[in-house]
Amino acid sequence: MTYTKTVIPEHKQIAIIAHDSKKPELLTWAKAHRSELAKHKLLATGTTGTLLEDNLELTVEKVQSGPLGGDQQIGAKIVEGKVDCVIFFWDPLEAQPHDPDVKALLRLAVVWNIPLACNAVSADFMLLSPLMKQAYQRKVPDYANHTNRKIPA
């Protein structure tokens, strides 16, 4: 695999998602880190974004609710290079009606080498890392060999 490099800016675009059963935990975490979150541009699925705006008085760009396509909208933004990191408090013990969308979103974060936190501890490590306070050169996989491959007819 070859890579190109892109710069994740000092002020990052952070996608924030939480399953309904994890929204209280996310809100507690976000309140504790409000000052750090305020330094970045926030993007969230609909219900989560409204919860963050109402309780933290922060501006949040909202897409649709996850089950209505919001996870896919955030996934598309990852592919377009418009998301620098993802914080997704997901519930591994509860089946979701949109599980394929959730799996696709997590997969895209890994495919495009985007930092991904899936619980409060990993979100702490991500948000409190010195790398969050500066620009960072991210290696982006070059999928040219994949997209230019010849498929026999």
Catalytically active residues, by annotation: 71
d(C-alpha 37, C-alpha 73), whole Å:
21
d(C-alpha 34, C-alpha 27), whole Å:
10
**Residue 73: phi, psi to the nearest 5?**
-65, -40
Comparing C-alpha atoms, which of 83, 94, 89 is closest to residue 75?
A: 83
Buried b (16+ CB within 10 A) or exposed e, 47-74: bbbebbeeebeeebebbebbbebbbbbb
**134 class by beta-carbon count within 10 Å (0-12 exposed, 13-18 middle, 19+ buried):** exposed
Tokens of 126: 């991500």
